[in-house]
Amino acid sequence: MKRPEGAAVRTDRSGIGGLFQDASPPAWTESEAQGDVPGRCRKILKNVFGYDSFRPPQEEIVTHVGEGGDAFVLLPTGGGKSLCFQIPALVREGTGLVVSPLIALMDDQVSALRENGVRAAAIHSGLDAKTSWRYERELEEGRLDLVYVAPERVLSERFQEVLKRSSLSVIAIDEAHCVSQWGHDFRPEYVQLGLLAELFPGVPRMALTATADGPTRREIVEKLRLMDAKVFTRSFNRPNIRLRIGPKDEPRRQLLRFLREEHAGDSGIVYRLSRADVEKTAEWLSKEGIRALPYHAGLPAETRRRNQETFLREEGVVVVATIAFGMGIDKPDVRFVAHLDLPKSVEAYVQETGRAGRDGLPSNAWMVYGFQDIAMMRSMIQGSEAPEERKRVELQKLNALLGLCETASCRRQSLLSYFGETLEEPCGNCDTCLEPQQTFDGTEAAQKALSAVARTGQVFGVSHAIDVLTGEATEKVRLNGHDRLPTFGVGKDLGKTAWNAIFRQLAAQDLVGVDMSRYGRLHLTERSWEVLKGQRKVPLRSEVVREGRTARKEKRKASAILGAGIDPGLLKDLKLLRTALAKEHGVPPYIVFGDRSLQEMAQQHPRTELEFSQISGVGAMKAKRYGPRFLELLRSR
């Protein structure tokens, strides 16, 4: 459906379709009414969303799409992608259509938009028929500014007829990496969304994602028919997130120390690989006094909904989840993401850890992993029924992740280089920068380890190999005569902990294979023989413990930065007021105001309506709705 000439930009008094039901934003100036799209975008940014300025390259994107151009937007999680399609939808005539893969993501964004006075709705399977029909009618009658739908609904002929009877301002395909069959979150329906180019040739289209390597980017552009779209990218660097990856050593103890010493009372996510581990970990954390809720696809739908709602609407809740949880979560004040199991790829790691610190405040991405994690992930890939080409790609992605885990240099430099970026200087906010790693020529140690595997027949696991190396004459070692091998006891000088680290690093470099279908038996690879024959050098890391005193020092440093000039008592009272207002209005606390807004209030102590309106995140509707209560508190201090 092609929009008539001259109807591309809204010309109503407010510039956003009259969405301010009880607020009174200023009218457009004459120059704006004649087509000043950048000016309109800036006014909406301030009046609706309460921000004084765009983040790069948001302004360029909203102007380009607001003027009718197509766009491919690649911004990191927390980089402000939503505004990139919400603002053009409000600038242009008609309703913005947003294609999103998860109900939770739709509902979360719709709630936030409504709090800002925007006429938004999500049409999905969670609605009753009467409500869905009402929203469709409002869409056809032009009474919605934005409508969110799942890709399956867009592909239905009946809903396409509804869209054809509507006036669309913008089409945004969010989480566009779902189009790639090689990606970490492939959704077959996304492949067919290219037909929107044929159905609505006059409507600007956008594809947006936070994680896509080179091949995935090319696939998105091709499948969604965006060959002529302008490409906008921003660095994947999230400097407010501290990256920390370490070896597993009693992982429950490590996690508990991390939570108690660095994130007491904070909201966060703990990722586990299996459903069983999710439930066990959540139950154990609860017994340790931490409010933890499980989330995985095997739980009843009502339980998942309730746990997710609790996480969104209450503060200080920890969700223990599989990767089924997260993509639909827009919660800005997640202070940490912890992995007790390896993600599938660097892309998955970036997407999952990127759910921390979306508000730009200091946050942690914390992960521990071990030899068994590496073996399990490789076994899952190799034992799957996927085509060999897909297995090869997934193994390559896993190896890239293991390279990130085992690097001795700046983790952020390594992470960004995967996406083709160069960070000139070490970041100073990752574990390898804060506690520099030492490496050594581990060729001799690797030869000893691989020799133990070879001489014991390549039919035993890592524990048995370590017993042989350290001269531990266990019953199994004696029964198999391995206490008489030349390698028995040749590694006494290093100890079991060191050998565990060495085998983990050998597995990460694919210098030793593990058959998990046969009780974790070790076997040599083609590269193993190169090491044994002296044809390959093996660099290894010296392990450094980064818990206890160092972790506490890092937390104090982060707290000092976070709390500069802020009245902690006032901040606490502001949070209590936010919680009370959130309950009154039936929305999550962060939708009332984010942590950054409250910190500015506690720092600047606004006393007048004008001063309050200058706080970041205070738009016209929120100033009118919540301003009197917050100003009453602020004036009393």
Burial of residue 289 (number of CB atoms within 10 Å: 0-12, 13-18, 19+): exposed
pLDDT at 532: 93
Nearest to 242 by CA among 468, 550, 507, 570: 550
Tokens of 328: 């639909």
Q: Contact, 175 vs 185, CB < 8 A?
A: yes
How many alpha carbons fall within 13 Å on the CB side of residue 83?
Answer: 26
Interatomic CA distance for residues 401 and 440, integer angstroms: 21
**In sequence order, what DSSP letters do the residues of 423-467 get, joined into one string?**
-SS--SSBHHHHS---EEE-HHHHHHHHHHHHHTTS-S-HHHHHH
Nearest to 532 by CA among 586, 455, 611: 455
Question: What does pLDDT average to in each consecutive run of 10 residues of the chain (637 residues)?
Answer: 38 37 41 72 93 91 96 86 95 96 84 93 92 96 96 94 96 90 72 94 93 80 94 89 93 95 94 95 96 93 89 91 72 94 90 89 94 88 84 87 91 90 92 89 94 93 93 93 94 89 89 77 90 92 55 46 71 92 90 91 92 90 92 92
Tokens of 395: 């193994």
Residue 301, number of CB atoms within 10 A of its CB: 9
Interatomic CA distance for residues 284 and 290, integer angstroms: 9
Tokens of 37: 């799209």
Tokens of 574: 């502001």
Q: Hey, what domains does the chain have and what are their CATH numbers?
A: 30-233 (3.40.50.300), 241-434 (3.40.50.300), 439-541 (1.10.10.10), 565-635 (1.10.150.80)
Tell me if residue 121 falls in helix, strand or coil. Answer: strand
pTM beyond 0.85, yes or no: no
Which stretch of DSSP H or E encloses residue 99?
strand 95-99
pLDDT at 16: 38
Q: In 268-410, which ranges are continuous DSSP H helix?
A: 275-287, 301-313, 346-353, 371-382, 388-406
Tokens of 435: 């506690």
Which stretch of DSSP H or E encloses residue 98?
strand 95-99
pLDDT at 546: 46
Nearest to 86 by CA among 21, 159, 148: 148
How many alpha carbons fall within 13 Å on the CB side of residue 137?
Answer: 6
pLDDT at 257: 95
Interatomic CA distance for residues 207 and 233, integer angstroms: 12
DSSP tag of 9: B
Interatomic CA distance for residues 297 and 377, integer angstroms: 20
pLDDT at 517: 64
- CA distances, 587 to each of 86, 307, 316, 546, 620 (Å): 20, 15, 16, 39, 18
Q: Contact, 335 vs 558, CB < 8 A?
A: no
